[in-house]
Amino acid sequence: QVQLVESGGGSVQAGGSLRLSCQGSAYTYARYMAWFRQAPGKEREGVAAIRGNMGTISYADSVKGRFTISQDHIWNTLYLQMNSLKPEDTAMYYCAAGPSKLTDMEALISDNYNYFGQGTQVTVSS
Protein backbone atom coordinates (compact mmCIF):
# COMPACT_ATOMS: atom_id res chain seq x y z
CA GLN A 1 0.00 0.00 0.00
CA VAL A 2 1.36 3.42 -1.00
CA GLN A 3 -0.07 6.60 0.46
CA LEU A 4 0.42 9.83 -1.44
CA VAL A 5 -0.11 13.37 -0.18
CA GLU A 6 0.01 16.33 -2.58
CA SER A 7 0.69 19.95 -1.70
CA GLY A 8 1.61 23.20 -3.40
CA GLY A 9 -1.53 24.04 -5.32
CA GLY A 10 -3.00 27.51 -5.32
CA SER A 11 -4.24 30.41 -7.42
CA VAL A 12 -1.96 32.29 -9.79
CA GLN A 13 -2.28 34.60 -12.75
CA ALA A 14 -1.52 33.45 -16.27
CA GLY A 15 2.22 33.33 -16.86
CA GLY A 16 2.94 32.50 -13.24
CA SER A 17 4.53 29.43 -11.69
CA LEU A 18 3.70 26.82 -9.08
CA ARG A 19 5.56 23.82 -7.72
CA LEU A 20 3.56 20.80 -6.67
CA SER A 21 4.93 18.22 -4.26
CA CYS A 22 3.82 14.66 -3.52
CA GLN A 23 5.07 12.86 -0.45
CA GLY A 24 4.99 9.07 -0.75
CA SER A 25 4.75 6.70 2.21
CA ALA A 26 6.90 4.00 0.65
CA TYR A 27 9.81 3.54 -1.72
CA THR A 28 8.73 4.96 -5.05
CA TYR A 29 11.94 5.31 -7.03
CA ALA A 30 11.57 2.02 -8.89
CA ARG A 31 7.93 2.65 -9.76
CA TYR A 32 6.39 4.82 -12.39
CA MET A 33 5.18 8.00 -10.68
CA ALA A 34 2.97 10.49 -12.43
CA TRP A 35 0.89 13.63 -12.24
CA PHE A 36 -2.64 13.64 -13.57
CA ARG A 37 -5.17 16.47 -13.68
CA GLN A 38 -8.90 16.71 -13.98
CA ALA A 39 -10.92 19.82 -14.75
CA PRO A 40 -14.68 20.01 -14.03
CA GLY A 41 -16.63 18.13 -16.67
CA LYS A 42 -13.51 16.67 -18.26
CA GLU A 43 -11.76 13.31 -18.10
CA ARG A 44 -8.62 12.79 -16.07
CA GLU A 45 -5.57 13.69 -18.17
CA GLY A 46 -2.00 12.47 -17.84
CA VAL A 47 0.39 15.41 -17.41
CA ALA A 48 3.82 13.90 -16.75
CA ALA A 49 5.34 10.61 -15.66
CA ILE A 50 8.74 9.49 -14.42
CA ARG A 51 10.57 6.35 -13.45
CA GLY A 52 13.45 7.83 -11.51
CA ASN A 53 15.90 4.96 -11.46
CA MET A 54 15.65 4.55 -15.26
CA GLY A 55 15.68 8.25 -16.10
CA THR A 56 12.46 7.75 -18.09
CA ILE A 57 10.21 10.80 -18.40
CA SER A 58 7.04 11.45 -20.43
CA TYR A 59 5.04 14.64 -20.87
CA ALA A 60 1.68 15.45 -22.38
CA ASP A 61 2.06 17.62 -25.47
CA SER A 62 0.04 20.37 -23.79
CA VAL A 63 2.68 20.90 -21.07
CA LYS A 64 5.97 20.14 -22.87
CA GLY A 65 8.47 22.94 -22.38
CA ARG A 66 6.47 24.44 -19.48
CA PHE A 67 6.26 21.68 -16.86
CA THR A 68 9.08 19.64 -15.34
CA ILE A 69 8.63 16.45 -13.35
CA SER A 70 11.33 15.38 -10.92
CA GLN A 71 11.82 13.03 -8.02
CA ASP A 72 13.79 12.97 -4.78
CA HIS A 73 14.34 9.29 -4.10
CA ILE A 74 15.82 9.85 -0.66
CA TRP A 75 12.66 11.51 0.62
CA ASN A 76 10.19 9.63 -1.61
CA THR A 77 8.96 12.96 -2.96
CA LEU A 78 7.66 13.72 -6.44
CA TYR A 79 7.60 17.25 -7.82
CA LEU A 80 5.95 19.09 -10.68
CA GLN A 81 7.38 22.49 -11.54
CA MET A 82 4.80 24.39 -13.57
CA ASN A 83 5.90 27.52 -15.42
CA SER A 84 4.14 29.80 -17.90
CA LEU A 85 0.80 28.67 -16.53
CA LYS A 86 -2.30 29.14 -18.66
CA PRO A 87 -5.98 29.31 -17.69
CA GLU A 88 -6.47 25.92 -19.36
CA ASP A 89 -4.10 24.41 -16.79
CA THR A 90 -6.77 24.97 -14.14
CA ALA A 91 -7.66 21.60 -12.63
CA MET A 92 -7.32 19.33 -9.64
CA TYR A 93 -3.86 17.77 -9.83
CA TYR A 94 -3.28 14.23 -8.57
CA CYS A 95 -0.11 12.34 -7.82
CA ALA A 96 -0.11 8.63 -8.73
CA ALA A 97 2.06 5.57 -8.17
CA GLY A 98 2.09 2.72 -10.64
CA PRO A 99 4.02 -0.39 -11.67
CA SER A 100 7.69 -0.63 -12.53
CA LYS A 101 7.16 -1.25 -16.25
CA LEU A 102 5.12 0.86 -18.66
CA THR A 103 5.54 2.01 -22.22
CA ASP A 104 5.76 5.74 -22.96
CA MET A 105 2.11 5.73 -24.05
CA GLU A 106 0.92 3.70 -21.05
CA ALA A 107 2.75 6.02 -18.62
CA LEU A 108 0.17 8.80 -19.08
CA ILE A 109 -2.95 6.63 -18.77
CA SER A 110 -4.54 6.70 -15.31
CA ASP A 111 -5.92 3.15 -15.53
CA ASN A 112 -2.32 1.89 -15.33
CA TYR A 113 -1.77 3.39 -11.87
CA ASN A 114 -2.68 1.73 -8.61
CA TYR A 115 -2.54 4.57 -6.11
CA PHE A 116 -3.67 8.19 -6.18
CA GLY A 117 -3.44 11.04 -3.72
CA GLN A 118 -6.34 13.25 -2.68
CA GLY A 119 -5.40 16.02 -5.11
CA THR A 120 -4.40 19.66 -4.93
CA GLN A 121 -6.26 22.44 -6.75
CA VAL A 122 -4.51 24.67 -9.27
CA THR A 123 -6.39 27.73 -10.52
CA VAL A 124 -4.94 30.01 -13.19
CA SER A 125 -6.69 33.29 -13.91
CA SER A 126 -6.34 35.29 -17.10
Mean pLDDT of 34-48: 96
In percent, the amount of the chain with pLDDT more than 70 equals: 100
Mean pLDDT of 91-101: 95
pLDDT single digits (tens) 62-80? 999 999 999 988 878 999 9
Residue type, 43: E
What single DSSP character describes residue 53?
G
Q: What angle do CA 22, 69, 114 make, to 5 degrees?
A: 55
pLDDT single digits (tens) 15-30? 999 999 999 987 777 8
Residues contacting residue 37 through CB under 8 Å, at least 6 positions apart? 44, 45, 47, 89, 91, 92, 93, 94, 122
Shortest CA distance to 104 belongs to which of 67, 42, 61? 61
pLDDT at 82 over 80: yes
